[in-house]
Amino acid sequence: MFTVFERFADLVTYTLFGIEAGTRLGDSVHFFFYDTTKIIFLLSIMIFFISIIRSYFPPEKTKKLLSNYRKITGHVMASLLGVVTPFCSCSSVPIFIGFVESGIPLGVTFSFLITSPIVNEVALVMLYTIFGWKIGTLYLASGILVGIVGGIVIEALGMEKHVEEYVYQISAQESEIKELDWSDRIDFAKEEVKEIVSRVWLYVIIGIGIGAAIHGYAPAELLAQYAGADNPLSVIAAVIVGIPLYSNAVGTIPIVEALMGKGVALGTALSFMMATTALSLPAMVILRKVIKPKLITVFVTVVGISIIGVGYMFNFVMNFV
């Protein structure tokens, strides 16, 4: 299925640019053109179909659904709905306020907010295509798990007083949900393709550019030695490095792909990816509008530790897969 992109990359790299095949530069440039065309093509198709599914779960509906559940079920449902509810980080504040205001417990709200960016369904589809269903499923399951665990811990810590007071004073208007018909859903999906591709293409290209450089130049033995499965500290280091970096999952995948090709352990690579997506400085700045610094610290710590746990679990599980 991808041979057409392979051919295109051959043509551009070897014929058009006249770079010799088998050289480092050739490898890097080829990887770059192959990956950018393949990923942007797949992305457009996948976003379309996923957006159709998403159109059934607007945040208003999610909020209604969630107010029916309590305790563990609430966390599980919030995490699962986090996967399918469309939401970009600039909407996290209204979603947070909407949830808390309608009486959804703080921890359940966090289960939703944690899983949502980690298991971005677009990224998930890319993981399935690039790494296969086993890794895709593991990533999906662990993203949901991190959300459930993170939310439960935050709930148990009783952090309600570290939410900005005004959040509790808001009483939002009940807003109706418009029922969509098929042509609305298709229009929505088309708009999403345009909107998401125009938002992420640059990240994808930068990600692939870095991936390509790693592909051609990164010393495999060195990386395998420091970030391979045998180094117990590698997962922690990957998460710490990942937090200040901001990217979306889509841009991180090519980097992860290239790193794994160089012998970086799967758990380490995926922890890095989760940390860059779930814990980023811009997201913290946005959340600061509704929660106080102490809760932000708790949030980063809890999610960071969960991601590290998942990384170790992955590295361990891979011994048996």
Partner 1 sequence: MKITIYGPGCKNCVNLADNAKKAVSETGVEAEIEKVEDMKEIAMAGIMSTPAIGIDGEVKIKGRVATVDEIKELLA
In the complex, the residues that contact partner 1 under the rule CB under 8 A are: 58-60, 63, 86-87, 90-91, 93-95, 97-98, 101, 166, 170-175, 188, 191, 195, 289-290
Q: Side chain identity at 196, as an amino acid letter?
A: I
- Residue 1 or 178 with smaller CB distance to partner 1: 178
- Residue 280 or 315 with smaller CB distance to partner 1: 280
- Residue 59 or 74 with smaller CB distance to partner 1: 59
- Dist. CA 122–CA 46, nearest whole Å: 7
Shortest Å, Cβ 58 to partner 1: 6
Shortest Å, Cβ 175 to partner 1: 3
Are the C-beta atoms of 238 and 269 separated by less than 8 Å?
yes
Separation of CA 49 from chain center: 18
- Dist. CA 117–CA 127, nearest whole Å: 15
Shortest Å, Cβ 109 to partner 1: 12
Shortest Å, Cβ 114 to partner 1: 17
- Residue 2 or 168 with smaller CB distance to partner 1: 168
- Residue 251 or 254 with smaller CB distance to partner 1: 251
Q: Residues near 2 by Cβ (< 8 Å), separated by ≥ 6?
A: 34, 38
Tokens of 228: 């391979």
Shortest Å, Cβ 275 to partner 1: 24
Would residue 21 be called left, alpha or beta, if left means φ above 0 and alpha means ψ between -120 and 50 degrees? beta
Q: Residues in the chain, how many?
A: 321
- Dist. CA 203–CA 142, nearest whole Å: 24
